[in-house]
């Protein structure tokens, strides 16, 4: 419990620091919220009146406290682009789509990388290992957005398996929605699969050279019994932490991929908000992504310590 308490305290401090950075990043911009809302050609009088109305003439600390308390309640103000529309409703309406896309991507990573990693670690052929290592490194080096472009060209324009921009919400047709999201999920997950395979293979090979493996063989245990009963179980422990990093990368990495595939998630909302200088939406989405990443890392650390109490992160 003491370990979890320390981690929770670190979590709170990290969230507080992230909120300060996010708020200050938009507070020091040359064109503040009033100019972004009225435009560059607005008169000084209109800008001053709007600044007073929005509370931008108050001290920065007062502004930050007001913004932070509102964010804790789920109130991020109203959008500049969609006049009168609350930021929370905009983000909430897109959150489900991004969550499903991230979940599909994660399932692909786990379902594919673990069997492939086991297969690669058990191969003794030098040529086979070299071929797998080369393929893994190539896949790791290709950005998700570039994979998205290739997948879009091949499966949408050439094979006509799906149509860009024709996303259907799960409420309308669940199977059609998942079928559409599979393609951006492939673009997101492929580099992550390669990374996980490389990490798992390295972890398994490190375990295979430990003393307890030789002892098990000396006692007459079969090769598969040692591998699946001891080596694989111990090798998967550090992979859990690595998967936490992968989940965070999936959440953050879906931003550009959503734009490529025209998926109406928070990534596409963020890109659109940045191009339109819709600062309240940008602040809310950036803070949300940061919170998700930090909370995931916290949960992974706790799970890791529960699985292996010897670990003190």
Tokens 């009225």 map to which residue? 38
Give pLDDT tens digits for 183-229: 999 999 999 999 999 999 888 888 888 888 888 888 888 888 888 88
Give pLDDT tens digits for 78-123: 887 777 788 888 888 888 889 899 999 999 999 999 999 888 887 7
- For 78, which DSSP code? B
* 27: enclosing H helix or E strand: helix 2-27
Would 302 be classed as within a structural domain? no
CB 283 within 8 A of CB 76: yes
Residue 31 has pLDDT above 60, yes or no: no
Would 195 be classed as within a structural domain? yes
Residue 246 has pLDDT above 70, yes or no: yes
Would 62 be classed as within a structural domain? no
User: Once rounded to an integer, what is the mean pLDDT over residues 127-137?
Assistant: 83
Q: Which two tokens stand for residue 56?
A: 């931008």
Indicate the pLDDT class of residue 312, thresholds 50, 70 and 90: low
Residue 1: how many other CB atoms lie within 10 Å: 5
Give pLDDT tens digits for 283-308: 889 888 888 888 888 888 777 777 66
Domain that holds residue 271: 96-276
Tokens 């309640």 map to which residue? 73
Would 311 be classed as within a structural domain? no
CB 301 within 8 A of CB 290: no
- The total number of structural domains that make up the chain: 1
101 or 276: whose pLDDT is higher? 101
Give every CB contact of residue 192 below 8 A, 6+ residues apart in sequence. Answer: 105, 109, 113, 246, 249, 250
Residue 243: which CATH number? 1.10.3720.10
222: left (phi over 0), alpha (psi -120 to 50) or beta: beta
What is the Cα–Cα distance from 139 to 190, expressed in whole angstroms?
7
User: Once rounded to an integer, what is the mean pLDDT over residues 251-264?
Assistant: 86
Residue 55 has pLDDT above 80, yes or no: no
User: Once rounded to an integer, what is the mean pLDDT over residues 46-61?
Assistant: 73
CB 256 within 8 A of CB 144: yes
CB 270 within 8 A of CB 283: no
Residue 151's pLDDT is what? 92
CB 139 within 8 A of CB 188: no
Tell me the β-bridge partners of 78: 86
Residue 49's closest CA among 38, 36, 65? 38
Would 5 be classed as within a structural domain? no
What is the Cα–Cα distance from 254 to 102, expressed in whole angstroms?
7
Within 123-231, where are the H helices? 126-141, 144-151, 174-208, 211-218, 223-226
Tokens 């025209």 map to which residue? 262
Residue 152: how many other CB atoms lie within 10 Å: 19
What is the Cα–Cα distance from 208 to 232, expressed in whole angstroms?
9
Would 260 be classed as within a structural domain? yes
Residue 192's pLDDT is what? 93
Indicate the pLDDT class of residue 40, thresholds 50, 70 and 90: low
CB 261 within 8 A of CB 179: no
Would 25 be classed as within a structural domain? no
Share of the chain above pLDDT 90, in %: 13
CB 136 within 8 A of CB 197: yes
Residue 43: how many other CB atoms lie within 10 Å: 9
Residue 163's pLDDT is what? 85
Would 269 be classed as within a structural domain? yes
């Amino acid at each position: 419990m003491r370990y979890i308490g320390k981690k929770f305290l670190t979590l709170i401090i990290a969230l507080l620091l992230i909120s300060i950075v996010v708020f200050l990043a938009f507070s020091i911009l040359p064109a503040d919220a009033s100019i972004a809302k009225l435009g560059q050609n607005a008169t000084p009088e209109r800008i001053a009146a709007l600044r007073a109305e929005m509370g931008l003439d108050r001290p920065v600390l007062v502004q930050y406290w007001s913004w932070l308390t509102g964010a804790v309640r789920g109130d991020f103000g109203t959008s500049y682009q969609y006049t009168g529309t609350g930021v929370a409703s905009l983000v909430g309406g897109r959150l489900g789509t991004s969550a499903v896309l991230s979940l599909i991507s994660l399932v692909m990573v786990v379902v594919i990388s673990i069997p492939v990693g086991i297969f690669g670690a058990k191969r003794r052929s030098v040529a086979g290992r070299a071929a797998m290592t080369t393929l893994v490194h190539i896949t790791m080096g290709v950005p998700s957005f570039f994979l998205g472009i290739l997948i879009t060209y091949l499966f949408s324009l050439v094979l006509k398996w799906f149509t860009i921009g024709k996303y259907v919400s799960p409420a309308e047709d669940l199977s059609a929605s998942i079928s559409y999201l599979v393609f951006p999920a492939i673009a997101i997950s492929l580099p992550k699969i390669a990374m996980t395979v490389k990490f798992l293979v390295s972890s398994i090979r490190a375990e295979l050279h430990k003393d307890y493996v030789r002892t098990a063989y000396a006692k007459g245990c079969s090769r598969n019994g040692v591998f699946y009963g001891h080596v694989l179980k111990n090798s998967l422990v550090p992979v859990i932490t690595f998967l936490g990093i992968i989940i965070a990368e999936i959440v953050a990495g879906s931003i550009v991929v959503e734009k490529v595939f025209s998926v109406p998630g928070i990534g596409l909302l963020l890109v659109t908000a940045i191009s339109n200088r819709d600062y309240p939406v940008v602040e809310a989405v950036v803070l949300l992504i940061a919170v998700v990443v930090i909370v995931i890392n916290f949960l992974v650390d706790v799970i890791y310590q529960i699985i292996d109490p010897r670990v003190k992160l």
